[in-house]
Amino acid sequence: MAALTIDGIGVDFGGFKAVDNFSMTVEEGELRVLLGANGAGKTTLMDLISGKTKSTEGRILLHDRDITNWQEHKIAREGVGRKFQIPTVFRELTVRENFEVAGFNHHGVLLNVGSRRKKIAADRIEEVTNLVNLRGKLSDRAGSLSHGETQWLELGMVLVQNPKIILLDEPSAGMTVQETLKTSQIINDLKGRHTLIVVEHDMAFVREIAEKITVMHLGKVLAEGVIQDIENNQAVKDAYLGRGGIG
């Protein structure tokens, strides 16, 4: 079953087509990597999916429900979570408090203060804490975390909301080698639990997580397939990867 169907989506900024008649289908529980040079349209596509940017053509379907050009908060409530490249957390609050705030900001997750709901919320926070490698950090102030831990915290803040689809924009950016490895493990653990779309430039990282890759070029689909298909695709080599391939 398709979790996300993008059908001929496009956006025209005063004559410049940042995304141009782009189509892609992502199956339930799939992890899709988006590759492309700067300016290829990857971030704009994420903006279109999340409602930050409004399209001028095409449709976006979430589990067959047309969410094209909905407002951002309505798309979020429908089950689309997004983590940006630069993490936004509440640095003066603890890790636990950040998770709680993220839940309160998402309709229906932690809103009900009844004891059963509070127990469910606490259980969800504990589960997410384990998923994002922040065990033992719940009482730490967010401002004291390393860069990698801060990235994991923001990812956890998305996960607390239990979204159907998670959009990740360069999740390994600025990380140490060890943090990058742990991040790949976190994302691999999320496969099947959530549908994920990951924009990433680190080819070594892509190798660790990729199932299927879509390569964008000038706002269009240039190629699609598993990593071996992509690294052997001449059009991809010419447009983006170079003759050395991925890696």
- pLDDT tens per residue across span 199-241: 988 888 999 999 899 999 999 999 999 999 998 999 998 887 6
Identify the pLDDT of residue 184: 95
Identify the pLDDT of residue 109: 43
Joined together, the tokens standing for residue 154 give 């923001």
Q: Which residues of the chain have pLDDT under 70?
A: 85-86, 104-120, 241-247
Between CA 20 and CA 5 the distance in angstroms is: 15
Instruction: Identify which of 233, 203, 205 has the alpha carbon closest to the alpha carbon of residue 221.
Output: 233
Between CA 157 and CA 136 the distance in angstroms is: 17
Identify the pLDDT of residue 107: 47
| Residue owning tokens 């065990």 | 135
- pLDDT tens, residue by residue, 65-82: 999 999 999 999 999 999
Instruction: Identify which of 27, 7, 3 has the alpha carbon closest to the alpha carbon of residue 212.
Output: 27
